[in-house]
């Protein structure tokens, strides 16, 4: 690990620590009743628009109505995206004459983008037309993130409201998330990106005769506008197959740095918004610190494994001089994107729900890709996806409070709300449903001959590829060990099922929990109240997250990445 | 339920118009107005003929050209991506061995000379326009000889195509092989 890599990490952390609280405060204002009932021009326009579309902007919803609205919206999204892919060959902006996307792949992709997963069983440039990318995939990059934000705000309201039958209005939250947070931020990032060389044009494909007289087709498309929301919405679905390694998606060190920052900033700012909602800043800061410690640890581990381990034997055997002075073979890496940034990018994408890559994860040290796998197994709460990270960690916080309450023999409570049987049932469903789906589907994939044939690398790495694909889709991440050839009916369908369970199987219990907590009368704080804004609670929270995940997944981690790493070290 | 579907459709259409039409159109407008060269792919040309993008590696055949990094997908531009070979995969060791032999032979290096790692590994995008400085320097004598140029001239062109970015922002030092070969070409044109 070099000093410059650590300096880069420190600059990144500093930028986040300074800007996340500011954005958190702004996000609070976007959703707070106090600010939204004001008679500003924007509020008036928004209300008129909603009324015109048949939504009463002042009405509130119960958790059930909120959940049904969310599901109705997601169903419409899946249907539209599916149909768009099926008929894209008849639509404009298709100069390369791409064909209609096959049914299984279209279902997989539609669900993948609607669930904020962005798992891609296709190569963007040779499968999706510019129209499909722009009015289909990029739209879902926005709205799937907005749905995540809405659920996070709904759960926050549930925790902080007293004796309330409602948790907000889904349509209002969805619209505000998109227009007041995601669009303005994406516009800034997109312009910054294009100023550095990310393309944005309607030329589409330009075929030319090269310098030495060869032939090359230079791809085009509306890339910068999509690239910005790809990172900010923790989506990760690349316009091109190479994703953020492609020079047109990530041309230099500035765009590389912006991309890492854009992935992290919204998830890291949400705890501050939560603190404002609760009226207790320190509660938000505690959550932020937990997220930050976990993400920084993962970054350091990845840096360590990727820059100081076992590739020396390969290098020595063939008398290869490494270029960066380290011991790394840049297989699957582009030179302008340094190896340390690849490690931090991988830690950031897998700790959020972003499936982007800026180097090939399958060619990393197996221990490094193992850390990335573990990040996703944590349920993506460090800091997690846009919205999903906050509601995920709040669920863990309530679990931590419950466990501590049992140990000291008091009724557990979080921010004054008693945690009882009904809440714990919902939390248990939330925590178990996705790992169960992941494990069962992985087990089937390993047993079925045809699905095993999709493996790209022999030995334990092959097992890792299968496990990684189901952990990634089950946690709505989208990151992949690219060696797995998973554009088959088996994977398209099983992954689609896994993504639906991983998204709605978690969102519905989270909303139900919001409803249950909103209805409660808070209990007054006493001297015996276990405080949730102290370092002690932060440590218990981290231990809870790591233990729950460790107990669930350790066996499979040891058969995949751990064995592969030890084999390489021999 | 019907009520929910209706609201869902209405809001979906609204959000598609906002994020799928208005937003990308606005970004396209600003990009084409303020950064037209970059938004169109950082194209490079000889005279008024476009010959490539400074961001995308191309295939160069023959000793008179600097060679870009190996690609898992070719340089046609219609596809991109890495090899996805794992470090534990024997196919990767075999490929590195083969690429090292080719590199040594092409550049008349002795079997004991160490070769730069970037010259014998496939890039992530398959279109990496950069090579390392040490890789460029090892190729320079071959190129100079094939073009009957003074080694000093070639080395000054390498220097011209080298750029370094701050390492504390995860930057690196690289040589752009497209710019380098373009400069060689212009030398001859002039």
Q: Is B186 on the interface with A (CB under 8 A)?
A: no
Asked if A224 lies within 8 A of B59 by C-beta distance, the reply is no
ipTM of the complex: 0.97
Q: What would you report as the CA-atom Rg of chain B, rounded to the nearest whole angstrom? A: 22
Q: Which one-letter DSSP state was computed for residue B148? A: T
**In the A/B pair of chains, how many CB contacts fall below 8 A?**
389
CA distance B186 to chain A (A): 10
Distance CA B65, CA B177 (A): 9
Residues B29-85 have pLDDT tens digits of 999 999 999 999 999 999 999 999 999 999 999 999 999 999 999 999 999 999 999
B110, B31: one domain? no
Distance CA A233, CA A113 (A): 11
Average pLDDT along chain A: 93
- Reply yes or no on whether the pLDDT at A569 is more than 80: no
- Pairing state between β B43-46 and B49-53: antiparallel
Residue A550 has what pLDDT? 81
Residues A88-102 have pLDDT tens digits of 999 999 988 999 999
Confirm if A321 and B113 have CB atoms less than 8 A apart: no
- Reply yes or no on whether the pLDDT at B107 is more than 60: yes
Residues A544-563 have pLDDT tens digits of 999 988 888 988 899 999 99
Residue A442 has what pLDDT? 94
B77, B164: one domain? yes
C-alpha closest to that of A342 among A370, A371, A306? A306
* Averaged pLDDT for residues A167-180: 97
Q: Is B171 on the interface with A (CB under 8 A)?
A: yes
Rounded to the nearest 10°, the torsion over CA B64, B65, B71, B73 is -90
Asked if B32 lies within 8 A of A201 by C-beta distance, the reply is yes
Distance CA A526, CA A517 (A): 20
C-alpha closest to that of A61 among A73, A53, A69? A69
B143, B90: one domain? yes
Residue A526 has what pLDDT? 78
Distance CA A208, CA A199 (A): 17
**Contact list, B147 vs chain A (CB under 8 Å):** none
CA distance B9 to chain A (A): 7
Q: In degrees rounded to 5, what are phi and psi of residue A468?
A: -60, -40
* Residues in a beta bridge with A206: A218
CA angle A476, A478, A481 (to 5 degrees): 135
B64, B78: one domain? yes
CA angle A296, A297, A300 (to 5 degrees): 85
Residues A498-538 have pLDDT tens digits of 999 999 999 999 999 999 999 999 998 877 788 999 999 99
Residues A292-331 have pLDDT tens digits of 999 999 999 999 988 776 566 667 767 777 766 556 789 9
**Contact list, B63 vs chain A (CB under 8 Å):** none
Q: Is A122 on the interface with B (CB under 8 A)?
A: no
B159, B138: one domain? yes
Distance CA B158, CA B174 (A): 10
If you write DSSP's letter for every residue of B26-49 in order, what string do you get? Answer: HHHHHHHHH-HHHHTT-EEEETTE
Residues A114-166 have pLDDT tens digits of 999 999 999 999 999 999 999 999 999 999 999 999 999 999 999 999 999 99
CA distance B35 to chain A (A): 6
A527 burial level (CB within 10 Å; 0-12, 13-18, 19+)? exposed
CA distance A509 to chain B (A): 20
Distance CA A447, CA A439 (A): 12
Confirm if A395 and A427 have CB atoms less than 8 A apart: yes
B143, B172: one domain? yes
> Dihedral sign, CA of A330, A336, A339, A342?
negative
Residues A396-444 have pLDDT tens digits of 999 999 999 988 888 899 999 999 999 999 999 999 999 999 999 999 9
Distance CA A255, CA A263 (A): 12
Q: Which B residues 129-158 touch A at CB under 8 Å?
A: 129-132, 134-135
> For residue B100, what is the nearest residue in chain A, using CA coordinates?
A318
B33, B45: one domain? no
Asked if A126 lies within 8 A of B79 by C-beta distance, the reply is yes
Residue A311 has what pLDDT? 60
* Averaged pLDDT for residues A179-200: 98
- Residues 6 or more apart whose Cβ sits within 8 Å of residue A223: A198, A199, A200, A239, A240, A248, A249
Q: Is A79 on the interface with B (CB under 8 A)?
A: no
- Reply yes or no on whether the pLDDT at A250 is more than 90: yes
The tokens describing A17, both together, are: 């620590």
Residue A204 has what pLDDT? 83
Distance CA B11, CA B8 (A): 5
* Residues in a beta bridge with A208: A216
Q: Which B residues 64-123 touch A at CB under 8 Å?
A: 65, 69, 75-90, 92-93, 96-97, 100, 111-118, 120-123
Q: Is A344 on the interface with B (CB under 8 A)?
A: yes
Residue numbers of the domain that contains B136: 41-189
Residue A310 has what pLDDT? 58
Residues B149-169 have pLDDT tens digits of 999 999 999 999 999 999 899
Residue B189 has what pLDDT? 59
* Averaged pLDDT for residues A332-336: 95
CA distance B26 to chain A (A): 9
Residues A344-394 have pLDDT tens digits of 999 999 999 999 999 999 999 889 999 999 999 998 899 999 999 999 999
CA distance A535 to chain B (A): 31
B79, B158: one domain? yes
Residue A3 has what pLDDT? 87
B30, B69: one domain? no
Distance CA A266, CA A387 (A): 8
Residue B111 has what pLDDT? 87
Q: Which B residues 18-47 touch A at CB under 8 Å?
A: 18-21, 23-24, 26-28, 30-32, 34-35, 38-43, 46
C-alpha closest to that of A563 among A459, A455, A453? A459
**Contact list, A75 vs chain B (CB under 8 Å):** 5, 8
Residue A413 has what pLDDT? 92
C-alpha closest to that of A117 among A390, A474, A408, A402? A474
B20, B100: one domain? no
**Contact list, A360 vs chain B (CB under 8 Å):** 82-84, 124
Distance CA A230, CA A258 (A): 12
Confirm if A384 and A393 have CB atoms less than 8 A apart: yes
Average pLDDT along chain B: 95
Residue A328 has what pLDDT? 77
% of chain B at pLDDT higher than 70: 98
- Residues 6 or more apart whose Cβ sits within 8 Å of residue A507: A67, A70, A151
Q: For B186, what's the count of Cα atoms within 13 Å in the CB-facing half-sphere? A: 15
Asked if B129 lies within 8 A of A458 by C-beta distance, the reply is no
Asked if A247 lies within 8 A of B125 by C-beta distance, the reply is yes
Q: Which A residues 544-563 touch B at CB under 8 Å?
A: none
B102, B185: one domain? yes
Residue B176 has what pLDDT? 98
Confirm if A9 and B171 have CB atoms less than 8 A apart: no
CA distance A469 to chain B (A): 14
Confidence of residue A202 (pLDDT cuts 50, 70, 90): very high
Q: How many domains does chain B have?
A: 2
CA distance B152 to chain A (A): 23
B63, B136: one domain? yes
Asked if A76 lies within 8 A of B134 by C-beta distance, the reply is no
């Amino acid at each position: 690990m070099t000093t410059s890599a650590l300096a880069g990490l420190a600059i990144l952390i500093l930028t986040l620590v300074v800007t996340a609280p500011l954005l958190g405060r702004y996000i609070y204002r976007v959703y707070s009743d106090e600010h939204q009932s004001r008679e500003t021009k924007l509020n008036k326009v928004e209300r008129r628009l909603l009324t015109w579309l048949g939504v009463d902007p002042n009405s509130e919803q119960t958790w059930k109505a909120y959940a049904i609205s969310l599901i109705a919206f997601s169903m419409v999204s899946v249907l539209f995206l599916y149909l768009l892919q099926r008929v894209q060959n008849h639509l404009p902006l298709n100069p390369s004459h791409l064909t209609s996307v096959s049914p299984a792949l279209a279902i997989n992709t539609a669900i993948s983008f609607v669930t904020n997963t962005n798992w891609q069983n296709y190569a963007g440039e040779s499968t999706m037309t510019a129209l499909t990318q722009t009015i289909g995939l990029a739209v879902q990059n926005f709205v799937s993130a907005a749905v995540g934000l809405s659920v996070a705000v709904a759960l926050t309201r549930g925790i902080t409201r007293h004796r309330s039958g409602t948790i907000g209005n889904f349509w209002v939250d969805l619209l505000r998330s998109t227009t007041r947070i995601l669009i303005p931020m994406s516009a800034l990032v997109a312009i910054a990106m294009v100023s550095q060389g990310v393309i944005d044009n309607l030329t589409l494909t330009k075929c030319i005769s090269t310098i030495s007289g060869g032939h090359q087709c230079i791809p085009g498309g509306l890339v910068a506008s999509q690239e910005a929301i790809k990172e900010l919405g923790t989506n990760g679905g690349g316009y091109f197959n190479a994703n953020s390694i492609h020079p047109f998606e990530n041309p230099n060190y500035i765009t590389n740095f912006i991309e890492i920052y854009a992935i992290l900033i919204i998830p890291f700012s949400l705890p501050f918004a939560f603190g404002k909602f609760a009226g207790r800043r320190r509660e938000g800061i505690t959550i932020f610190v937990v997220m930050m410690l976990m993400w920084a640890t993962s970054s350091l581990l990845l840096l360590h494994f990727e820059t100081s381990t076992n590739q020396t034997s390969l290098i020595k055997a063939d008398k290869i001089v490494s270029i960066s002075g380290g011991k790394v073979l840049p297989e699957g890496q582009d030179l302008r994107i340094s190896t340390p940034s690849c490690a931090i990018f991988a830690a950031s994408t897998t700790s959020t729900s972003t499936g982007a890559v800026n180097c090939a994860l399958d060619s990393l040290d197996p221990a490094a890709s193992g850390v990335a796998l573990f990040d996703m197994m944590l349920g993506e709460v460090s800091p997690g996806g846009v919205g999903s990270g906050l509601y995920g960690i709040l669920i863990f916080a309530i679990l931590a409070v419950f466990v501590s309450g049992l140990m000291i023999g008091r009724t557990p409570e979080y921010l004054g709300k008693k945690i009882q049987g009904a809440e714990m049932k919902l939390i248990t469903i939330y925590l178990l449903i996705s790992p169960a789906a992941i494990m069962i589907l992985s087990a089937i994939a390993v047993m079925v001959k045809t699905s095993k044939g999709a493996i790209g690398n022999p030995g334990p790495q092959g097992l890792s590829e299968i496990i990684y694909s189901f952990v990634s889709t089950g946690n709505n991440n989208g990151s992949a060990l690219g060696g797995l050839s998973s554009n088959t009916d088996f994977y398209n369908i099983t992954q689609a099922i896994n993504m639906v369970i991983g998204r709605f199987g978690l969102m519905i219990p989270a909303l139900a929990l919001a409803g249950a907590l909103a209805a409660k009368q808070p209990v007054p704080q006493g001297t015996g109240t276990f405080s949730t804004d102290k370092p002690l609670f932060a440590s218990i929270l981290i231990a809870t997250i790591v233990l729950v995940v460790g107990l669930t997944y350790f066996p499979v981690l040891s058969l995949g990445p751990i064995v592969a790493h030890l084999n390489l070290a021999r | 339920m019907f009520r929910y579907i209706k609201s869902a459709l209405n809001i979906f259409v609204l959000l598609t118009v906002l994020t799928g039409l208005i937003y990308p159109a606005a970004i396209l407008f600003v990009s084409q107005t303020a950064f037209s060269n970059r938004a169109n792919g950082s194209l490079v040309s000889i005279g008024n003929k476009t010959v490539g993008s400074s961001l995308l590696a191309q295939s160069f055949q023959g000793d008179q050209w600097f060679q870009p990094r190996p690609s898992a997908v070719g340089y046609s531009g219609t596809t991109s991506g890495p090899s996805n070979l794992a470090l534990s995969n024997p196919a990767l060791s075999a490929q590195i061995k083969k690429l090292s032999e080719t590199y040594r032979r092409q550049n008349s290096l002795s079997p004991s000379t160490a070769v730069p790692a970037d010259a014998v590994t496939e890039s992530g995008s398959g279109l990496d326009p950069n090579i390392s400085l040490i890789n460029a320097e090892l190729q320079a004598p071959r190129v100079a000889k094939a073009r009957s140029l003074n080694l000093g001239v070639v080395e000054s062109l390498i220097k011209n195509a080298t750029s370094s970015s701050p390492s504390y922002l995860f930057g690196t030092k690289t040589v752009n092989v497209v710019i380098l070969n373009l400069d060689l070409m212009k030398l001859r044109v002039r």
